[in-house]
C-alpha cells in the first residue's frame, strides 16, 4: 500500500493545467463507438477508468487507436456492436459500468459486465429498473455486479426519475437511442447534462425542456472531433488549495464550465471565496474557461437541494474547505454520497475528525464545525481506496501544521494519474 507525506505550503502563485474531464472522456468513447465514422478525441483523460472503457468497446468490436496525442474511435453506427468473447470489465468506474448497461440493454446479444472489488459492492438496481421498464432483462445477485444483460427489443417510455442521477439518466438515454418509440425522462432536479449535449453534437434527436428530456430513436450518429476540456472535479482540489493557502493565487486553465457542474463555484462564492472566471469560450457544445482562485476568509454555509447534483463529486474537498472556514457548514440531500467508491459521508467525517475537526455524519450529509482558518493537526489519512478522499485531504495537507500522511494512494490512478506531481507544485518551493 503506497503512501505519501505532503508538507505544509507557504503559499504560491501558480498556473496549473489539469487533465481532461473524466465524464466527457467516457462519453466521447461510448458515443463515438455508436456513431458512424472516425471520432477524434483530443485531451482525452488517460486514467485507469477511461482506459477500461476503451477496452470494453474494443471488446465489442470497435477499433480504437491512439494517434499522436489523440484517440481515434472508428465507429460503424448504432447497431454495429458485436457480442464480446469475454466478461466486460470496467474497473473502478461507476460511469463506465452504468452507462454501458444502457448500451448493452439495447444490443441483440447476451453480455456479462463487472468491475473491481469496489464496483461489485455498488448497487445497480437504480439503472436496471428503468431499463427493465423498456424491456431489458438482467440477472444480478442482490442487484450487484457482475450483471448478465439480455438485450434487445426495447420500447420507449415515459419515466419520472425518483432521484437525480446523471449516470442513471444517461443509461436510459443511450438505451432510448435504439428503442421503438420515443422516450421521455423527467428529472426531479436537473443533473449533469453532458450526455444530452454530446449526443446533440453528434446529431442525435435529443431535446431538453426544463427537467424533461425527449429522445427520438433511429437517428444515425455522425462522427465528430471532440476536445475534452479540463475536469472541474480535478481542478477543485487546486482551486480550494488556492483559497485556503496564505498569499496565494492559483489559476487553472481550460476548465469545462457546464452549468450542471458549476455548483462548486456557486458554493465558493457563498462561502466568501475570491474566485473569477476568464477566457470563456465554447468547445463542442460545452462552455470552457480559466478559473482564478485567491487567498480568502471562508465562512460556513448550508448546502442542499438542487445544488447537490451540480457538485456531488466535489463534496469531499468542499468539506475540507468548510473545516477551514469560520462557522458551521451543513450539507444535506446528498445521500448519493453513500453509494460512491466508499460511503463518502462516513469516510470524510472520519478523516475530518483525525485532523482535529468536529464533524457529524447525517443520513444524507454532514455537519462540519470550521476551525476559523487554523492549521489542521497532523494525522495519518486513510483514503479507504477512494480517489476523491485521497485528493481532498491532499489539499488539506497544504494548510496543516506539518502536512499530512495520505495512505493507500494507488486509487488516484483511476481518475488522475498526475495528481501528486501537480499538488506538490503548490508547496511554495521556488
Name the strand (E) or helix (H) holding 256. strand 249-256
H or E stretch covering 236: helix 232-244
Three-class SS string for 404-422?
Answer: EEEECCHHHHHCCCCHHHH
Q: Which of 97, 102, 1, 5 is nearest to 55 (CA)?
A: 97
Gap between the Cα atoms of 76 and 147, Å rounded: 26
| Side-chain-side CA neighbours of residue 285 (13 Å) | 16
Alpha-carbon span 36 to 77, nearest angstrom: 4
Give the CA angle between residues 121, 124, 337 to the nearest 5°.
65
Closest CA to 18 of 421, 429, 359, 346: 421
Exposure b/e, 129-140, CB count within 10 A at least 16 = b: ebbeebbbebeb
Smallest CA-to-CA distance from 207 within 223, 180, 184, 181 is with: 184
CA distance linking residue 148 with residue 150, whole number of Å: 7
Cell numbers for 44: 482525452
- HSE-up of residue 277 (Cα within 13 Å, Cβ side): 18
User: Catalytic annotation on 313?
Assistant: yes
Distances (CA, A) of 2 to 47, 127, 176, 356: 18, 34, 43, 24
The residue from 21, 48, 290, 313 that is catalytic is 313
What is the widest separation between alpha-carbon atoms in the chain?
A: 62
Residues that are catalytic: 313
Amino acid at each position: 500500500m503506497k503512501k505519501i507525506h505532503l508538507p505544509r505550503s507557504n503559499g504560491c502563485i501558480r498556473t496549473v493545467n489539469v487533465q481532461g474531464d473524466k465524464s466527457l472522456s467516457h462519453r466521447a468513447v461510448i458515443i463515438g463507438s455508436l456513431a458512424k465514422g472516425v471520432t477524434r478525441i483530443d485531451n482525452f483523460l488517460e486514467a485507469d477508468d477511461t482506459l477500461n472503457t476503451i477496452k470494453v468497446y474494443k471488446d465489442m468490436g470497435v477499433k480504437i487507436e491512439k494517434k499522436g496525442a489523440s484517440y481515434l474511435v472508428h465507429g460503424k453506427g448504432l447497431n454495429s456492436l458485436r457480442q464480446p468473447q469475454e466478461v466486460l470489465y470496467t474497473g473502478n468506474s461507476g460511469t463506465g459500468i452504468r452507462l454501458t448497461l444502457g448500451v448493452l440493454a439495447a444490443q441483440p446479444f447476451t453480455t456479462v459486465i463487472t468491475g473491481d472489488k469496489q464496483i461489485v459492492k455498488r448497487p445497480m438496481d437504480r439503472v436496471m429498473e428503468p431499463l427493465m421498464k423498456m424491456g431489458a432483462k438482467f440477472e444480478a445477485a442482490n442487484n450487484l455486479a457482475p450483471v448478465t444483460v439480455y438485450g434487445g427489443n426495447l420500447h420507449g417510455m415515459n419515466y419520472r426519475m425518483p432521484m437525480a442521477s446523471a449516470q442513471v439518466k444517461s443509461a436510459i438515454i443511450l438505451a432510448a437511442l435504439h428503442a421503438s418509440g420515443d422516450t421521455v425522462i423527467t428529472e426531479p432536479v436537473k443533473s449533469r447534462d453532458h450526455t444530452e449535449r454530446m449526443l446533440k453534437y453528434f446529431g442525435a434527436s435529443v431535446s431538453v425542456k426544463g427537467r424533461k428530456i425527449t429522445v427520438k430513436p433511429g437517428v444515425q450518429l455522425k462522427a465528430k472531433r471532440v476536445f475534452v476540456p479540463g475536469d472541474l472535479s480535478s481542478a477543485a482540489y487546486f482551486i480550494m488549495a488556492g483559497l485556503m493557502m496564505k498569499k496565494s493565487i492559483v489559476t487553472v486553465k481550460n476548465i469545462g464550465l457546464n452549468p450542471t457542474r458549476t455548483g462548486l463555484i456557486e458554493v465558493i462564492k457563498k462561502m466568501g471565496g475570491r474566485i473569477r472566471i476568464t477566457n470563456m469560450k465554447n468547445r463542442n457544445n460545452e462552455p470552457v474557461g480559466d478559473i482564478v482562485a485567491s487567498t480568502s476568509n471562508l465562512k460556513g454555509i448550508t448546502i442542499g437541494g438542487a445544488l447537490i447534483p451540480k457538485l456531488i463529486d466535489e463534496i469531499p474537498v468542499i468539506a475540507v474547505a468548510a473545516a477551514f472556514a469560520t462557522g458551521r457548514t451543513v450539507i444535506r440531500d446528498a445521500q448519493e454520497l453513500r453509494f460512491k467508491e466508499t460511503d463518502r459521508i462516513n469516510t470524510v467525517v472520519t478523516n475530518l475528525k483525525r485532523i482535529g475537526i468536529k464533524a457529524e455524519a447525517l443520513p444524507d450529509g454532514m455537519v462540519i464545525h470550521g476551525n476559523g482558518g487554523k492549521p489542521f493537526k497532523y494525522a495519518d489519512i486513510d483514503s479507504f481506496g477512494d480517489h476523491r478522499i485521497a485528493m481532498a485531504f491532499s489539499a488539506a495537507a497544504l494548510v496543516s501544521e506539518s502536512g499530512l500522511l495520505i495512505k493507500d494512494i494507488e486509487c488516484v490512478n483511476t481518475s488522475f494519474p498526475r495528481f501528486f506531481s501537480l499538488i506538490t507544485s503548490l508547496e511554495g518551493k521556488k
